[in-house]
Chains A and B, each alone.
Chain A
Amino acid sequence: MRENPGSQTACQAAVDRAEGGSHNALVADTTERARWLATSAAVRSLNDAVLMVRGEDARSWLAGQITNDTHRMGPGDAVYALVLDARGKILADAWVVEGDELRLIVPRETEALLLEHFDKYIVMEDVELAPSDEAVVTVQGPRAAEAVEAAGFSGAPCDRLGAGGRDVIVPSGERDRALEALVRAAEAIGGGEVDEAAWELARLRAVRPRFGADFGPANYPQEAGLKRIAVSFDKGCYLGQEVVCTLENRGQLSRHLVRIESDVDLAAGLELRRDDKVVGQITSALRDPETAEVLALGYVKRASTAAGTSLDTDRGTCIVQGVVDVAPGHGDRRAL
């Protein structure tokens, strides 16, 4: 029966078609933007905090506080590291950036905790740690450096997703102007600004754990698959080192972060079971709009980490793809 165009049913159908169209456009948009992160240059304004580390003893002091080796850093370098507590558990991740001054880029939610934590370990050293009123705009992807330089910045080589990247740090009041310039430069080479949805899709496709979602104060660096990009086993002492080294040389982890795929919708917090016993939990999950597969990360007991292991959830079955072991990307400057 042909719909009377003025009827309520016809209007509803038109709305449904428009919303379905909008949804499809949104999905295509997210997929396209996620692709920029892997093929071009994708720009995102971050909510990360910037801490300044100043003083004659800043570098030697910082070396005793973080997991990675910074002694060969020079102007323009950046190193990814973790801040641990004395038990070897992760308090925060951080990008150490050597520019005109030494800076730490840290998750915003860890700023206050880190200032208090670090303050405990400044005795008589000439070290001053202070929050900086600066903003971070990141450009990620294989052509990130090109976009950053075209926009008139140099940026720090912070490869956040394994495909190359630069973080641009500017005074907070200049964030919008910097963002606009970087987005224009990225668009000129086939990229552009990305939102949270596109970022998360690219992140899970690249299997990059995120602080606060996939690792945090309950985890050792090795559990989260971060040792290759965040830990140096050749450097001098740092807080938590003994535990990390003992685990590495003599111990066995009881659980690991693993990649998981599924046809059913998974969600963070979902329990993972094997033979009716709880063996883990999902930490991140989303459905890839391009492949329709669900990509997830989760912690699983050691005996259930082998690729191909089938695990049950309240929503259905999922399959372990392998243990997460983040390798240095071509943009990583871990080994300086």
Chain B
Amino acid sequence: MISLTPKAGDKVKEIREAEGLGDQGLRVRIIGGGCSGFSYDLFFEDETTELDQTFESEGVQLHIDMMSLQYLEGTTIDYVEGLHGAGFKFVNPKAKSTCGCGSSFSA
């Protein structure tokens, strides 16, 4: 199970509306590479395959493939704004370590 915080959910809906994407879901996946080994990837998509699981959180459909889910189980996606910038932040209990910018992790 992965989930969005209320703030992240609001941000997703705000972007979705601004882009005219209707009720499109969010693809959440892991890709190999990045300073710590794996990187988080997030983009709007509604195409799914039999390898995907879909969760609903804060009114947004989250599509995750089974391989990425191994690394993402229990993850909460937040949205943070600060002096250093703004963006989606992954709070991942399976991450052993995370790079300084938070976009890459080791498992």
B-binding residues in A (CB < 8 A): 61, 63-65, 86, 120-125, 127, 237-243
Are B35 and A122 within 8 A (Cβ)? no
**Whole-angstrom distance between the Cβ of A265 and the nearest chain B Cβ:** 43
Are A121 and B32 within 8 A (Cβ)? yes
Considering the chains assembled together, what is the distance between the CA atoms of A63 and B75 in angstroms? 26
- Out of A63, A124, A242, A243, name the residue touching B33 (CB < 8 Å): A63
Are B37 and A239 within 8 A (Cβ)? yes
Between A120, A124, A125, the greatest number of chain B beta carbons within 10 A of the residue's beta carbon is seen for A124
Considering the chains assembled together, what is the distance between the CA atoms of A86 and B97 in angstroms? 10
Contacts of A238 in B (CB 8 A): 33-35
Are A242 and B36 within 8 A (Cβ)? yes
Contacts of A127 in B (CB 8 A): 32
- Out of A64, A125, A242, name the residue touching B99 (CB < 8 Å): A242
Contacts of B31 in A (CB 8 A): 61, 64, 123-125
B104 at the A interface (CB under 8 A) = yes
Contacts of A241 in B (CB 8 A): 35
**Whole-angstrom distance between the Cβ of B19 and the nearest chain A Cβ:** 24
Nearest CB in chain B to that of A57: its residue: B31
Are A124 and B34 within 8 A (Cβ)? no
Are A123 and B35 within 8 A (Cβ)? no
Are B36 and A123 within 8 A (Cβ)? no
- Out of A63, A120, A121, A237, name the residue touching B35 (CB < 8 Å): A237
Are B36 and A239 within 8 A (Cβ)? yes
Are A65 and B35 within 8 A (Cβ)? no
Q: Is the contact region of chain A dominated by helix, strand, or loop, or is it mixed?
A: loop
Contacts of A64 in B (CB 8 A): 31-34, 39
Contacts of A124 in B (CB 8 A): 29-31, 51, 65, 67-68
B92 at the A interface (CB under 8 A) = no
Are B32 and A237 within 8 A (Cβ)? no
Are A240 and B35 within 8 A (Cβ)? yes
B54 at the A interface (CB under 8 A) = no
- Out of B30, B100, B104, B106, name the residue touching A123 (CB < 8 Å): B30
Considering the chains assembled together, what is the distance between the CA atoms of A241 and B101 in angstroms? 12
Contacts of A237 in B (CB 8 A): 33-35, 39, 99, 103-104
- Out of A123, A242, A243, name the residue touching B32 (CB < 8 Å): A123
Nearest CB in chain A to that of B34: its residue: A237
Contacts of B35 in A (CB 8 A): 86, 237-243
Are A61 and B29 within 8 A (Cβ)? no
- Out of B36, B51, B65, B67, name the residue touching A86 (CB < 8 Å): B36
Contacts of A63 in B (CB 8 A): 33
Contacts of A123 in B (CB 8 A): 29-32, 38, 67-68, 71
